[in-house]
Amino acid sequence: MLKYLRILLLPFSLIYGLVVYVRNQLYNLGVFRSTKFDLPVIVVGNLVVGGSGKSPATEYLINLFRDYKIAVLSRGYGRKTRGFIRAGATDTALTIGDEPLQFYHKFPQVTVAVCEDRVEGIRKLQAEHDLILLDDAFQHRSLKPGFSILLFDFTQLKKVQLLLPAGNLREAFSSYRRADLLMITKVPADATAAELQQVAGKFDSEHTVFCSSIAYQQPVGLYDNEEFPVTLLKDKTIFLLTGIANPAPLLTYLQQLGSTIIHHDYPDHYPYKFSDLQRLSDAFRAHPGKEKIILTTEKDAQRLFDVTIKELLLNLPVFYLPIRMEIGQGKQSIFDQKLLTYVSDITRNRHLYQSKN
């Protein structure tokens, strides 16, 4: 059924692709203006709608540049507000979005802000920061970043990809040539050299292609922040709550641990309602097993701090599972050095300019 629906939508994809192509050409020719800033600006983006691992990549960069004064700027997908907002103690996923809230909770030393207009957002942040990290702004052509990292999900890259609405590409695959660095994400541990060569072969030889995988960390208590040894998940019944674009890698990981999974699956960025969590709570309490927990992702956890939801789950064993991006094939130092060199050069040139003026 889905196959036939995609065929029916192909004419609309052609129209969409033409519009995007003309728009990109107008930016390339300078008809539409792109603003460039004199401080380091790194974009983490993708070509598809959701699910490529931008949040772990952004967190990797935050840790890499821990000696700099960093601001993370996002659109704040899923928020119910508009305009520029600097994250604060009273913000929720509804005011700034779940991913910015995750960055805010995880990295208190970093400024986190949201704004639909990235140029406006950078203007409000640039005076107080050494480096701006932009989460999901590759298609924001009114901004000319200093360095752009484009992410590709390993599994999706092996498939035929189509433009919206027949597929999930935001723009033509060839647009990857605008990026400075390419990263294949979520590479399975059992991926063969032939498979890696196949997906890397989709790009031209002028671009360095890096590969990364997901490293799952110890589960953390949702409301008490206590860690739970991941080995204790073995043979447990897990009530898994996800509202992410691609839960497949997480399901595979938990199944490999020997867990029994009861999956409560929702769309990406889904705004959980009280009734959704009531259903989860009732199912958990009704289950006859003794060795059972509720597990969710770190991103989903940000949408579970609403007062009414918290009261519903407070006395239940609810944990979230943090993840970390790990760069493989012995290329981590090369990846790090490319970015450190870019930021160092721009920062040095900026200071020289300021001292002369």
**pLDDT score recorded for residue 354:** 52
171/289 same-domain check:
no
Q: What are the phi and psi torsion angles at 187 (to 5°)?
A: -70, 125
- Domain of residue 310, CATH code: 3.40.50
73/182 same-domain check:
yes
37/147 same-domain check:
yes
160/271 same-domain check:
no
54 within a domain of the structure (yes/no): yes
148/249 same-domain check:
no
Side-chain-facing half-sphere of 140: CA atoms under 13 Å? 25
5 within a domain of the structure (yes/no): no
223/96 same-domain check:
no
107 within a domain of the structure (yes/no): yes
Burial profile 52-86: b = 16 or more Cβ within 10 angstroms, e = fewer: bbbbbbbbbbbeebeebebbbbbbbebbeeeebbb
**pLDDT score recorded for residue 352:** 46
235/105 same-domain check:
no
12 within a domain of the structure (yes/no): no
Q: Which domain holds residue 96?
A: 31-215+327-348
How far apart CA 149 and CA 136 sit, in angstroms, is 10
**pLDDT score recorded for residue 276:** 96
1 within a domain of the structure (yes/no): no
354 within a domain of the structure (yes/no): no
55/146 same-domain check:
yes
19 within a domain of the structure (yes/no): no
pLDDT in tens, the chain (357 residues): 667 788 899 999 999 999 999 999 999 999 999 999 999 999 999 999 878 999 999 999 999 999 999 999 999 999 999 999 999 999 999 999 999 999 999 999 999 999 999 999 999 999 999 999 999 999 999 999 999 999 999 999 998 889 999 999 999 999 999 999 999 999 999 999 999 999 999 999 888 899 999 999 999 999 999 998 888 888 899 999 999 999 999 999 999 998 899 999 999 999 999 999 999 999 999 999 989 999 999 999 999 988 888 889 989 999 999 999 999 989 999 999 999 999 999 987 665 445 444
189/102 same-domain check:
yes
Domains of the chain: total: 2
Burial profile 108-133: b = 16 or more Cβ within 10 angstroms, e = fewer: eebbbbbbeebbbbbeebeeebbbbb
Count of H-run helices and E-run strands, the chain: 12, 14
151/264 same-domain check:
no
**pLDDT score recorded for residue 114:** 98
How far apart CA 138 and CA 20 sit, in angstroms, is 13
264 within a domain of the structure (yes/no): yes
**pLDDT score recorded for residue 350:** 64
- Domain of residue 207, CATH code: 3.40.50.300
314/333 same-domain check:
no
257/340 same-domain check:
no
**pLDDT score recorded for residue 353:** 43
